Structure 1
């Protein structure tokens, strides 16, 4: 570990040299060497050995946060914000694995910190940016090793899970209709009767999902049928999952889903079938394979499947009774010339009267036309927003000038430090001039922040104005327009509506 090479060792107070000690554990089951207390002790030892004043308030923790999820680590986000605000001079952590387990994230964090003049120090790798420089291979190599670890661990875990499944053990949640005894699935007969009844109604009576849900909930109300485990009433989605799940015919599928990282967050996706590990006759079946295949026969499924019509207002329409999304359902008779599209509460659609209320008939086309007209009328009243753009013509030049001033002040700080190290000025003079430069820098950064905030506001105003102009093209996809202009629209059972505009706070 590199330490100061000066013959006269100076002691750095926390006020003079503010730093952050960053610690992280992904779960509360981490080994002792990676525990919070152990990480703090290691960092504290290095700080005190290198003549930095210890300060308990310097510790920032991410507990129960995976190193692969950059955006979900609030402490790390705060550190980066402090670096941008020039509030810290150094970040210390036990190892690069605590910083990030993703190569891209690790390099990005390092560049942000160093780019804002923050020293980066890790204990295990002996890395110190003060001596290594910006473009070093050492940090990249250790970051690459850290990124590879969770992938290797994932392969090992997958192999262990596959071995358990081959032995007949069940992993994951216990499905409806089963219990788990000695890690094996056993049929729970009372619940299994409901599963069999669902398949029987679907395969042999030809009932659709809505009819099955209604009959199940009537049975629940009469005490003849058990409800789902975690809800009081059956829903369409619950029935769909039961009919599509091969677990009920004795088949277990491993590696059906995987987790990927999208924009710093985890997202579950379905693997292609060739990657699945299928275990036939893994556990007792509630229905036969023939019954399950009949329910999932492509021709049979396609004849009963109804595709949800396109909805430009999706996610914005809310039920005034329960708060669920309003969705489109189709009605009418093909023989009479086509379908009508109505808006219904999604909770009512899933569970009928047991989920919510049935709204008065509201056709989607007429409702969309109403919303467009309301927005166009409102747009006339906000046309004066264009005037604001005329006041911002000089903003770009102001931003450029302030950035130049910030660069100049940073250069002056470096020159001032050189004067002090060359003993051309004493410590008191250095501190006085350095504090003045810090004050000027803070003022300049504050001005830049305010200008950029105003710039963002103007960008939002431009998006709003563009969205209003796009309303003229009512035959095109207007989803992005409605998302820009509307916060939500509350629809009461009687058909009364309340429109909440997204831009009301932007005026």
Structure 2
């Protein structure tokens, strides 16, 4: 038998008492023990420790007859049921299925046993399908529970995810260091020396744990559901979802630790690092494939070895300093390349001076540059699109309220009305996601325009310094 819920445990106790009494009253029987797997469905024998212990005891000659309540309690997997019944029968051991009045030692029982096993497996598959349907419905409606198997979040008093500030700091450091040009190994070294454990409680960080942080959409407040799925109710093996099943994205589900712009840049950077070829025939490593969000990424090349320069962060006495260093020197030391490190601020000043000299010698150049940048960063006016989406959301909300009222008051086809409510809910979720994307684009465009204004002012200031 198998047990799970409190009701089943009570049933289990009753069954133990019943069969113990029945065996004690039969002078031809001697009690050999109770075998029960708690919390298991009986669909796969390999995961039923007590069931396998019973089989071993049979093989050792400790048991010569087994009594079970039903075929479903023995196994809900047709293959397992027949396999073990035949194996025990070959050992001269019978299995009596009380509910079906079947004795496996009788020749006519195998056909009936096969039929009942098929029915038991079908029942298990039906239960599994119903559970899976319920999970998928919760995913579609965006009400699936948040899993706290990552650092940076904990369950709040209201039952919702809340940020853990002392852990969130290290999450931000991981993203910042990666965009600063640090490799996963360098980030690992930093985390190993920091007072922060992995999500599983380890002091030593693995590369995969760091990559999981860098690719986890939950850090921007979203949840991508059904990344994996259970193959079937028999094997219960989890498979990575590569398009076999639908995925569901719930946007703005909880507070974000990382802004979307940073997250997108990290995903782009990871793709670039995977795909970028060797930067020069002079380089001694093909690993110098780091770009990032910074203006000088991919532009600075070492005149000694031909490799790229990478933006790095030096921390000394609690103070941070940004410098650019040759990748060859970083990875192989000073003997491999004798290039020097260059301060980030020094490079910025040199570039500003060069731009100013060009502008001073070319009238109207600044206006042309700012005009082109404005075209690139200004973006489209999404105001009308945003208004249309808000209007559509309000209309769908009204339709859903009307449908809910009809469901409460009508005696008609409630199943059809429920399906309509679910469909309306899905459309609202999709529109809200689209609304969030447009609002994000509008905010980015506003920020870019402000940055252009600051850029123009800073050029003037550097121009004054140069004169």
TM-score by length of 1: 0.48
Which residue number corresponds to residue 291 of structure 1? 262
DSSP 3-state at the match of 1:179: strand
Aligned CA distance change for structure 1 residues 30 and 240 (closer, same or farther; 3 Å)? farther
How many angstroms does 1:129 deviate by? 2.6
C-alpha contact (below 8 Å) 1:43/1:93 kept by paired residues:
no
Equivalent in the alignment of 1:150:
124
Partner Cα separation in structure 1 for residue 99 and residue 181 of structure 2: 66
Selected match of 2:172 from 196, 203, 208: 196
Residue of structure 1 in register with 2:223 after alignment: 252
| Aligned residue runs from structure 1 range 97-496, under 5 A | 97-131=72-106, 133-136=108-111, 138-162=112-136, 166=141, 168=143, 170-181=145-156, 182-203=158-179, 205-218=180-193, 220=194, 226-228=196-198, 230-260=201-231, 267-273=237-243, 274-297=245-268, 300-305=269-274, 335=282
TM-superposed CA distance for 1:127, in Å, is 2.0
- Compared CA separation, residues 90 and 215, structure 1 to 2 (3 A): closer
Which portions of structure 1, spanning 4 or more consecutive aligned residues, are displaced by more than 6 angstroms? 336-340
Structure number with bigger Rg: 2
Check the 8 A contact 1:93/1:99 in 2, yes or no. Answer: yes
Q: For 1:170 and 1:187, how far apart are their aligned partners in 2?
A: 16
Counterparts of 1:86 and 1:57, CA distance in 2: 11
Select the structure with the greater relative contact order (CA < 8 A; seq sep ≥ 6).
1
**Distance change >3 Å, CA 80–CA 68, structure 1 → 2:** same
Are 2:55 and 1:60 equivalent residues in the alignment? no
State the 1:199 CA deviation. Answer: 1.6
Distance in 1 of aligned mates of 2:143 and 2:225: 12
SS at match of 1:59: coil
2: CA distance between counterparts of 1:73 and 1:246? Answer: 36
1:173–1:291 Cα change, 3 Å = same
Residue aligning to 1:24? 2
* Distance verdict in 2 for CA 1:33–1:216, change over 3 Å: closer
**How far apart in 2 are the matches of 1:68 and 1:80?**
16
**Quick one: distance in 2 between partners of 1:296 and 1:30?**
49
Do 1:94 and 1:122's aligned partners in 2 also have CA atoms closer than 8 Å? Answer: yes
How many correspondences in the alignment? 281
* Structure 1 match to 2:395: none
| 1:443-486, Cα deviation, whole Å (9 max, x unpaired) | xxxxxxxxxxxxxxxxxxxxxxxxxxxxxxxxxxxxxxxxxxxx
* Alpha-carbon RMSD: 3.6
Q: 1:172: how far off?
A: 2.9
State the distance in 2 between where 1:170 and 1:85 align. Answer: 47
Within 2, Cα distance between the matches of 1:237 and 1:246? Answer: 16
Over residues 204-232 of structure 1, what are the superposed CA-to-partner deviations in whole Å (9 max), with x where a residue is unaligned?
x12211122233445x26xxxx4445233
| Ranges in structure 1 where 5+ consecutive residues have no aligned partner | 1-22, 307-332, 341-507
CA contact (8 A) 2:151 2:167 kept: yes
Does the 8 A contact of 1:92 with 1:121 survive in 2?
yes
Map of 2:300 onto structure 1? none
Runs of 5+ consecutive residues of structure 2 not aligned to the other structure: 288-467
CA apart distance, 1:140: 1.8
Deviation at 1:233, TM superposition (A): 4.7
Deviations 1:167-223 (A, max 9, x none): 6453433532112233322223332232222222223x12211122233445x26xx
Q: CA deviation at 1:283?
A: 2.0
- Using the TM superposition, give the Cα deviation of residue 239 of structure 1 relative to its aligned residue in structure 2, in angstroms: 1.4
Question: Does the aligned pair in 1 maintain the 2:224–2:249 contact within 8 Å?
Answer: yes
Determine the structure 1 residue equivalent to 2:322. Answer: none
